Amino acid sequence: MSQSPIGTAKPDLDTPALCLDIEAVEANIKRMADLFRDGPVRLRPHAKTHKSPILAQMQLAAGAIGITCAKLGEAEVLAAAGIKDILIANQITGAGKIARLVNLAGYTAVMVAVDDATNVAELDTAAQAKGVRLRVLVELNIGMERCGVLPGEPALALAQRVAASPGLRLEGVMGYEGHTVFIQDPQERREKTEASVELLVDTANLLRRHGIPVKIVSSGSTGTHLITGRYPGVTEIQAGSYITMDSQYRDEVGIDFAYGLTVLASVTSVPAPDRAFIDAGLKTLTRDFGLPKVIDPPGWDLTGLSEEHGHLHRAGGAPLRTGDKVEIVPNHGCTTINLHDEYHVLRQGVLEAVWPIAARGKVS
Amino acid sequence: MSQSPIGTAKPDLDTPALCLDIEAVEANIKRMADLFRDGPVRLRPHAKTHKSPILAQMQLAAGAIGITCAKLGEAEVLAAAGIKDILIANQITGAGKIARLVNLAGYTAVMVAVDDATNVAELDTAAQAKGVRLRVLVELNIGMERCGVLPGEPALALAQRVAASPGLRLEGVMGYEGHTVFIQDPQERREKTEASVELLVDTANLLRRHGIPVKIVSSGSTGTHLITGRYPGVTEIQAGSYITMDSQYRDEVGIDFAYGLTVLASVTSVPAPDRAFIDAGLKTLTRDFGLPKVIDPPGWDLTGLSEEHGHLHRAGGAPLRTGDKVEIVPNHGCTTINLHDEYHVLRQGVLEAVWPIAARGKVS
């Protein structure tokens, strides 16, 4: 549990502390919800970013139609918090997990992605044995070359299998244009995103021409929400990172949601005037796609992360002393949050709550 | 909690599962302990790797003289398990943490590293107020250019301050030759390691010539244990990774402790005969210094880690199907373990226990 009592001012928090600027988070939630409030595309935010039932409930209260997650363990945490409409945007395989999934389907309207006929048969058998009808989206590979069946005929064939499975209810199709999300040129990002999403929508229409109802056409991310989220035929998007933002989205593709997530660290060592070390290394911050950024104090750069230390270099700011606080914006919020057990929730710079990151580590 | 009951065979574990081959771990513990059982250099293993009181107790039972850790939160977990002689090989700064540290010193013989005169004064004041005598090592920068005072006169000056502080007990000096640990050429690694450690030993002797007793001269890692651990004047080494090993140490510098740590994953998607995806991505495995390695099945390589997926490419093995299990050796055990809540402890391939990774996430 946090060492910092409610009411603590941010500079006095015990460190390293994962901090939520709750006003920025609330503004981000509202801004994205408002973009999709009136349809035709709706918002099903991805909880893999925040891993927190209370943040998911805030997203639903603001207008989201349901929640997306990546793992069965995350879905179980969300369902235990009373969330009713959950997409696991991933394949669930293995007898033990499939048993958990169909049991969960007895409590909440969970959906799961499929891209394999054997997996479809296993899910169908388990759902029938449990007496539930499991909601399914057929996942398509729309150019990322990760999971998913190919668009067109292969997707149709799998959808027909799902439609013929008494234990399953085919809700629609999903994809992920992950290969276009970080294309820096806006025009190229738009063209490649639309080319990907067109494959998804075309396949949805192919299914419909074969008499298979397709209610859901789901894709999209924070990076493409204004492209995929405006594409005719898409029904919902899965944006996640916007809730807290990170320097990766801001710096690489200019997405301008507010920074709602920072790590407060303390200087532990100043061995030279231009060099300092903080108590936040690779167990506190991640560098999946680049280094996190110092936002305070000015004039100091984060130049490296070793296991237990963050390495700072002075580019012109005032000297640092041991015990000084340093505030950092993560490069990748999703994996950074996954290192921490709790959020320090700050309003007007004062600790208002400590929230468990309830789905942290729920990778199974 | 693990979904897998005691007695489960490894291939049937719920995944992803962090697995300890406890026989390999026991052999690694014994092998390293035996190397340093008779001195003059002794072993104080680094618990930042395993974060587990029971593994620390096994290291002590095998002959270690105490435990090293990186964070005050880790020391608190170890102390709560009854461990008595703990080195926090790091600086502790800030009034709140220093208060926790001197309180902990009332229960267990904790030591802390210092490299700053102001920090020394703060520790001294807090220790006197609490009525404890806090054990201190002066940390030297012996070439890694991270924390630490410079060897020679600067270290002497700081040691004299510590020696003059009624609340502190100067136990000795420490360093870390982290810049030599992964030098691949054995001769170059030896020469640069010895040049670094010489700075530490020479400074210890300088202090002694000035009438300051130096009991502890501590440095070293798994990568340099046979160099630093045999260097005259060193009294203890801080090796950590050897207990479970990882592919970084094996592949880069040929350290041949046994692989005791693996991640068991499941295939979730096989979109093409030469491409498969597993349920272990960046929230289950780390790629700090390179990608983890598939050890089973043969003929499949891990070619990438995205947030929720591991990407496998077939280089010649038998086809994979959804639900198949894949066993992987982490590239960096320390940061991989820090992602997980528990060890699956396997003896002869059967689940014997599930151990909490009690100090996971204790970065504060």
Q: What is the structure's pLDDT at B2?
A: 82
Q: What is the structure's pLDDT at A289?
A: 87
Judge if A228 and A269 occupy the same domain: no
- Token pair of A176 as six digits: 């992920």
Helix H segments across B210-289?
Answer: 225-228, 247-253
Which helix (H) or strand (E) segment holds residue A272: the answer is strand A261-272
Chain-chain contact of B341 with A361 (C-beta, under 8 angstroms): yes
Count CA atoms closer than 13 A to A148's CA, side-chain side. 23
Chain-chain contact of B288 with A282 (C-beta, under 8 angstroms): yes
Q: What is the structure's pLDDT at B1?
A: 72
- Token pair of B84 as six digits: 């008595």
> Does residue A47 form part of some domain?
yes
Which helix (H) or strand (E) segment holds residue A123: the answer is helix A117-130
Distance, in Å, from the CA atom of B148 to the CA atom of A87, rounded to the nearest integer, reads 50
Q: How far is A310 from chain B (nearest CA, A)?
A: 10
Residue at which a domain ends, from A181, A210, A244: A244
Q: What is the structure's pLDDT at B333?
A: 97
> Does residue A201 form part of some domain?
yes
Distance, in Å, from the CA atom of B254 to the CA atom of A80, rounded to the nearest integer, reads 47
Domain region containing B58: 23-246
Q: Looking at beta carbons, which residues of chain A come within 8 Å of B91?
A: 268-269, 322
Q: Side chain identity at B308, as an amino acid letter? A: E
Average pLDDT, chain A: 97
Q: What is the DSSP string of B300-325?
A: EEEEEE-SS-EEEEESSS----TT-E
Identify the band that residue A251 occupies on the pLDDT scale cut at 50, 70 and 90.
Answer: confident
Q: Which of B104, B279, B288 is the best residue to mutate to test the A interface, defined by the most A CB atoms within 10 Å of its own CB?
A: B279
Q: What is the structure's pLDDT at A125?
A: 98
Q: Side chain identity at B24, as an amino acid letter? A: A
Chain-chain contact of B338 with A283 (C-beta, under 8 angstroms): yes
Distance, in Å, from the CA atom of A142 to the CA atom of A193, rounded to the nearest integer, reads 9
Tell me how many domains chain B contains: 2
What's phi and psi for B24, nearest 5 deg? -65, -40
Is residue A147 pLDDT above 90, yes or no? yes
Look up the pTM and report it. Answer: 0.97
Distance, in Å, from the CA atom of B163 to the CA atom of B176, rounded to the nearest integer, reads 22
Q: What is the structure's pLDDT at B282?
A: 98
Judge if A128 and A112 occupy the same domain: yes
Q: How far is A210 from chain B (nearest CA, A)?
A: 24
Q: What is the structure's pLDDT at A252?
A: 87
Judge if B45 and B92 occupy the same domain: yes
Is residue A55 pLDDT above 90, yes or no? yes
Judge if B209 and B309 occupy the same domain: no
Q: How far is A53 from chain B (nearest CA, A)?
A: 19
Taking Cα atoms as reference points, which of A156, A160, A161 lies closest to residue A140? A156
> A102: helix, coil or strand?
helix
CB atoms within 10 A of CB B349: 12
Chain-chain contact of A16 with B363 (C-beta, under 8 angstroms): yes
Q: How far is A330 from chain B (nearest CA, A)?
A: 15
Distance, in Å, from the CA atom of A10 to the CA atom of A19, rounded to the nearest integer, reads 9
- Tens of pLDDT, residue by residue over A195-242, are 999 999 999 999 999 999 999 999 999 999 999 999 999 999 999 999
Q: What is the structure's pLDDT at A1?
A: 72
CATH of the domain at B312: 2.40.37.20
What is the radius of gyration, based on Cα positions, of chain A? 22
Is residue A3 pLDDT above 90, yes or no? no
CATH of the domain at A37: 3.20.20.10
Q: How far is A357 from chain B (nearest CA, A)?
A: 12
Chain-chain contact of B283 with A17 (C-beta, under 8 angstroms): no
Distance, in Å, from the CA atom of A71 to the CA atom of A362, rounded to the nearest integer, reads 7
The partner residue sitting opposite B307, judged by closest CB among A149, A306, A334, is A334
Torsion of CA B55, B58, B62, B67, to 10 degrees: 50
The residue of chain A nearest to residue B120, with distances taken between CA atoms, is A322
> Does residue A1 form part of some domain?
no
Judge if B80 and B215 occupy the same domain: yes
Residue range A82-109: mean pLDDT, rounded: 97
Taking Cα atoms as reference points, which of A150, A17, A130 lies closest to residue B361? A17
Based on the number of CB atoms within 10 Å of its own CB, is A7 exposed (0-12), middle (13-18) or buried (19 or more)?
exposed
> Does residue A276 form part of some domain?
yes
> Does residue A14 form part of some domain?
yes
Judge if B28 and B14 occupy the same domain: no
The partner residue sitting opposite A148, judged by closest CB among B267, B271, B340, is B271
Positions in chain B whose pLDDT score sits under 50: none
Count CA atoms closer than 13 A to A68's CA, side-chain side. 26
Distance, in Å, from the CA atom of A357 to the CA atom of A140, rounded to the nearest integer, reads 31
Identify the band that residue A176 occupies on the pLDDT scale cut at 50, 70 and 90.
Answer: very high
> Does residue A251 form part of some domain?
no
Chain-chain contact of A116 with B16 (C-beta, under 8 angstroms): no
In chain A, pLDDT over 90 holds for what percent of residues?
97
Residue at which a domain ends, from B217, B246, B275: B246
Residue at which a domain ends, from A244, A278, A300: A244
Judge if B102 and B121 occupy the same domain: yes
Q: What is the structure's pLDDT at B3?
A: 86
Q: What is the structure's pLDDT at B255?
A: 93
In chain A, pLDDT over 70 holds for what percent of residues?
100
Judge if B120 and B226 occupy the same domain: yes
Is residue A165 pLDDT above 90, yes or no? yes
What's phi and psi for A28, nearest 5 deg? -65, -45
> Does residue A361 form part of some domain?
no
Judge if B276 and B336 occupy the same domain: yes
Q: What is the structure's pLDDT at A2?
A: 83
The partner residue sitting opposite B363, judged by closest CB among A284, A323, A361, is A284
Contacts of B132 (CB under 8 A, 6+ apart): B102, B105, B106, B167
Taking Cα atoms as reference points, which of B222, B114, B221, B231 lies closest to residue B177? B221
This model of the complex carries an ipTM of 0.96
The dihedral through the CA atoms of A48, A52, A58, A63 has a sign that is positive
- Tens of pLDDT, residue by residue over B316-359, are 989 999 999 999 999 999 999 999 999 999 999 999 999 999 99
The partner residue sitting opposite B116, judged by closest CB among A17, A270, A286, is A270
Q: Looking at beta carbons, which residues of chain B come within 8 Å of A361?
A: 283, 339-341
Chain-chain contact of B322 with A91 (C-beta, under 8 angstroms): yes
Contacts of A191 (CB under 8 A, 6+ apart): none
Q: Looking at beta carbons, which residues of chain A come within 8 Å of B354?
A: none
Chain-chain contact of B266 with A93 (C-beta, under 8 angstroms): yes
Distance, in Å, from the CA atom of B84 to the CA atom of B21, rounded to the nearest integer, reads 27
Judge if B239 and B265 occupy the same domain: no
> Does residue B251 form part of some domain?
no
Judge if B290 and B329 occupy the same domain: yes
Q: What is the structure's pLDDT at B77?
A: 98
The partner residue sitting opposite B96, judged by closest CB among A3, A282, A361, is A3
- Tens of pLDDT, residue by residue over B213-228, are 999 999 999 999 999 9
Judge if B202 and B307 occupy the same domain: no
Chain-chain contact of A48 with B308 (C-beta, under 8 angstroms): yes
